[in-house]
Structure 1
Amino acid sequence: TGYRLAQYEDDKVAVVTILGKPYAGRRVTQEINALLDAPTPEKLRTWLESGYRLAQAEDDRVAVARILADPTISAALRAAAEDVIDGTPEELRYFLATGQYEVDK
């Protein structure tokens, strides 16, 4: 029981830390707030292991769509965003964190 309680405390700290990140979008924020309203060790662990990745991917997809909605972006950035918008969660995160700045403007 000691490990389970310690892991639970660590998981609560992890979700609150995620909530404070600048790229925590609407979906991530909604899901974390729902978890914190009725937290259980199992729900927190499950969300950290799989739910976070999916929620962040949804937020990242919205962020890429916003880039595409900007009529002033370069053709190269538009092409890169179009290529990644249907990509994996990891591809989306990389594009937003780094890839969009590596594209020739």
Structure 2
Amino acid sequence: MAVRIRLARGGAKKRPYYRIVAADSRSPRDGRFLEKLGTYNPLLPGDAEQRVTLNEPRIRHWLEQGAQVSDRVARFLDRAGITSNTVHHKGTGKRAAEIAAKKAAAEAEANA
């Protein structure tokens, strides 16, 4: 079973509230999950303490068991210091092209 740490949406229409959960990767986004690992409330200000709450020991347990992390949750874990350098930038827009160009330039300097 492939376990993934990801967000499960809750809340009312236009009032999102997310649970950070460990779930089987094949289960629906808001469906069955194995364990609740934290919460994310995007309606709170960015510096609010309750915006993102994490159960660090259980997250570390699931990571040790080989759980994969979604991009958004990876950002939360990086910011909390649980993981490092796991942020993935996806996209095909102008910003993604700039990021790819910077990364290629940095690698070229490192190899030179």
Give the TM-score of the pair, scaled to structure 1: 0.23
Give the TM-score of the pair, scaled to structure 2: 0.23
Relative contact order, higher structure (CA 8 A, sep 6+): 1
Which one has a larger percent helix, Structure 1 or Structure 2? 1
